[in-house]
Structure 1
Amino acid sequence: MAKPEVVVLDYGSGNVHSAVRALERVGAQVTLTRDTQQVLDADGLVVPGVGAFAAVMEALTSIDAPRWIGRRVAGGRPVLGICVGHQILFERGVEHGIAAEGMGEWPGEVTALPQDVVVPHMGWNTVRPARDSVLFDGIEDERFYFVHSYAVQEWGFDQTVDAMSAPKVTWSHHGADFIAAVENGPLAATQFHPEKSGDAGMQLLKNWIESL
């Protein structure tokens, strides 16, 4: 059986090689590239992200990545965002009083975590997975590795309109509740780093790979 082909988007974000190795470990054939056709044709696309929201959006825009991501999502082709790659899928981010537009795939604003707790939120934390989550199947009670000072702390969709098709939202807590992951058809994302989350993170990536 052929391995699923996964592209890790190469747009200048740091620490992408750990994501490449983790995906290879769970059975994917992985390419690190920014080639348009490879990005569009892959079975799965992973969008990593480290640093500031505005800088990541600027780097992605410079290689036309938001259009590629949008085309994949419109065509039902899976995309997984990680860390700031998760944050930029929301409407906007506000860091140090400066707002930057995100991709707007989901409603919500990335804002600073409460200042009465230690930031950045760095280390292991539990999550509260959404019901029937694919990503967290079998690892609902595990801990995952976070490194961030900003997060989406309110969810804008009305989950009661159509519970069957509504996005699955997983929460965590550090000073306040914040969104730790979202699963929405072909589009999924995690605020934490699965590639740094030990066996639980490997299982999450395996769950995603097996869903492609």
Structure 2
Amino acid sequence: MIVIVDYGMGNIRSLYNALDFCFADVNVTSNTEEIAAADRIILPGVGAFGDAIRAIRNLGLEEVLTHQALVVKKPILGICLGMQLFAKDSQEYGAEKGLGWIDSQVEYMKPSAQVKVPQVGWNQLKIVGSDWLFRGLPSIQNDVYFVHSLHMVCNDKTDLAATTYHGEEITAAIARDNLVATQFHPEKSQDNGIQILRNWLEREF
């Protein structure tokens, strides 16, 4: 059973449909017992970091998620804002503490004459580690779909799985043991995104 954590700030329908296309058994829930019983957990997210972490805490989800992530070491996939929540803190609208699973901070991207922020649209991946996540991508360009104006800065570069370039090098995906996350939306990334989801679903952690 794959659980998508529903805390009111996720693009859940398209993610559910993508996982269903992969023949995954999916449950959307905010129930702590169902989260604890899941085989794998997906933490999605769209919106502001502070609103998201407060929603998780108000629903009493932080403890069960952290226990599953760091003690049980259950496979957890973060997507977009869900990935940023793995960080120690974010500077969005002032300092806000995250789940603290990954030694990293979330910072604003820098706009310039060449690039606009937020980054909205397709961009190419540069795979720098954990290539299993990107095995068998049908597009040679490895294009995936981004929508974000902040990005994760990893203090331990071995956590990086892929980067992309948008005026500067941006963390596109991370992988540390059972913790995997993407800044891009695999559920919106067509064939490439479906393959990435399949790779994660089939991975033995």
Query: Given the two structures, how large is their TM-score scaled by the length of structure 1?
Result: 0.89
RMSD (Å) for aligned C-alpha atoms? 1.5
Per-residue CA deviation, residues 6-51 of structure 1 (Å, 9 max, x unaligned), is: 0111111142111111111112110111111110111111111000
After superposition, give the CA deviation of every residue in 1:67-105 in whole Å (9 maximum; x if it has no partner): 122111221211100000000101111124x11111111
- 1:76 and 1:27 mapped to 2: Cα distance? 24
Residues 1:109 and 2:105 aligned together: yes
Aligned to 1:207: 199
Alignment of 1:28-177 (within 5 A): 28-73=24-69, 74-96=71-93, 98-116=94-112, 117-139=115-137, 141-152=141-152, 154-157=153-156, 159=158, 167-177=159-169
Match of 2:182 among 190, 195, 206: 190
Give the aligned partner of residue 10 of structure 1.
Answer: 6
Q: Residues of 2 paired with 1:72 and 1:120: CA distance?
A: 32
Is contact 2:160-2:171 (8 Å) kept? no
Secondary structure in 1 matching 2:198: helix
Structure 2 residue ranges without an equivalent (≥5): none
* Structure 1 unmatched ranges of 5 or more: 160-166
SS in 2 for 1:135: helix
CA distance in 2, matches of 1:102, 1:88: 5
Structure 2 residue matching 1:24: 3-state secondary structure: helix
Where 1:172 maps in the other structure, the secondary structure is strand
Of 102-111 and 118-127, the range deviating more from structure 2: 102-111
- CA distance in 2: counterparts of 1:184 and 1:7, whole angstroms: 20
Q: How far is 1:169 from its partner?
A: 2.7
Rounded Cα–Cα distance in structure 2 between residues aligned with 1:132 and 1:110:
21
| 1:129 CA drift (Å) | 1.5
Residue 163 of structure 1 corresponds to which residue in structure 2? none
